[in-house]
Amino acid sequence: MWMRYPDLKAVYCSNDAMALGVLQQMQEKNCYLPVVGFDNDAVMKEFLSTGKLVATADIFSSQMAVRGIEFALDVLEGKIENRGVHSTAYEIIKQ
């Protein structure tokens, strides 16, 4: 990645598992770039506390799942239409 993009300043990962892979590669290559993950997976707390991971986004996926099920049931029961955009809560977790 560094050879292909030498001006790279940071890495944003679509999930914390990818961020963990990037952190492992950086350790093997003995280099550092700021890394941000997405999920707030419990395993990443160590990396946040040491500063190896800059931040992760907690999207409260369990709450999102509950709301999604409630929404689907409301649609199936004819209480609401299946349309529109539905926002969910999130929190940026930093060291």
Write the pLDDT tens digit of every residue in 10-40.
999 999 999 999 999 999 989 889 999 999 9
What are φ and ψ of residue 70, in 5° steps?
-60, -45
Residue 3 has pLDDT above 80, yes or no: no
Query: Shortest CA distance to 79 belongs to which of 67, 71, 87?
Result: 71
- Residue 53 burial by Cβ neighbours in a 10 Å radius (0-12, 13-18, 19+): buried
**How many structural domains comprise the chain?**
1
pTM score above 0.95: no
Q: What is the domain extent for residue 70?
A: 2-94
Structure letter (DSSP) for residue 90: -
| 3-class DSSP state of 27 | helix
Q: What is the CATH number of the domain that holds 23?
A: 3.40.50.2300
Q: Can you tell me the distance from the alpha carbon of 1 to that of 25, in angstroms, rounded to the nearest whole number?
A: 10
